[in-house]
Amino acid sequence: MSENNQLPQDEQKKAQAEEAAGQSGFMAFWNRPIKVPEGKKQRTMGQEILSWIYTIATALAIVLVVRTFVFELYKVDGASMSNTLVDGERMFCTKFDYLTNGPQRGDVVICHFPNRGRTAFVKRLVAMPGDTVEIKNRQLYVNDELVPDPPKMYLMPNSDYPKRTLQENEYFVVGDNRGNSHDSRAGDVGPLTRDQIVAHVRTVIFPFGSFRTVE
């Protein structure tokens, strides 16, 4: 009877000994000096690991800040901005300028659509708050002035849009390939709000042979 009672105590002691040995081994590894160039301050393995963790965390924080407030790279997906932008091209897009001045009429922008989450779309901003926008006879008018179609890009039949005055915080975007673009003309998109316009397309950076400024 006493032998059976003693067995769990022996196992417990063994487990405690193994745990202590493991902790001892870890501390030995953590406090182990590492080789450093002559004249440099001696460091332990633990200090080196913490230094790497700090460096990686700092780099990730910088990347997050840059992507949120400075610039970001986007890829063109589709033909809605042809021939200004071509499917598969990579664009360099700035964000810092929109923190102060805001988007301007004529900018090519990266934007989000309602109920589409964080999916990014590239369109041209054609009308601002207070502007009137209208499509009649397959032609775009902003403030009753004709906005010419981009070269070789034409509106399709039955694409008229009734005249509308944009309210405060409403922005109207369309694709340069107006006959093949899902944009503010569609009922499920409509005019965008300022917070849905996230970046200003500046240059095409890839393919390298296609490097150019986006007007």
Active site residues: 80, 123
Other beta carbons less than 10 A from residue 91's beta carbon: 22
Please report where in the chains the tokens 């009649």 appear, as a residue: 136
SS3 percent helix, strand, coil of the chain, rounded to 5, is 30, 25, 40
Residue 138 DSSP label: T
Structure tokens at 198: 């996230």
Distance from C-alpha of 110 to C-alpha of 196, rounded to nearest angstrom:
9
Residues 147 and 107: their CA atoms lie apart, in Å, by 14
Q: Encoding tokens for residue 146?
A: 């004709």
The one-letter amino acid at 79 = A
Q: Looking at residue 80, what DSSP letter applies?
A: T
Distance CA 77, CA 92 (A): 15
d(CA 179, CA 33): 68
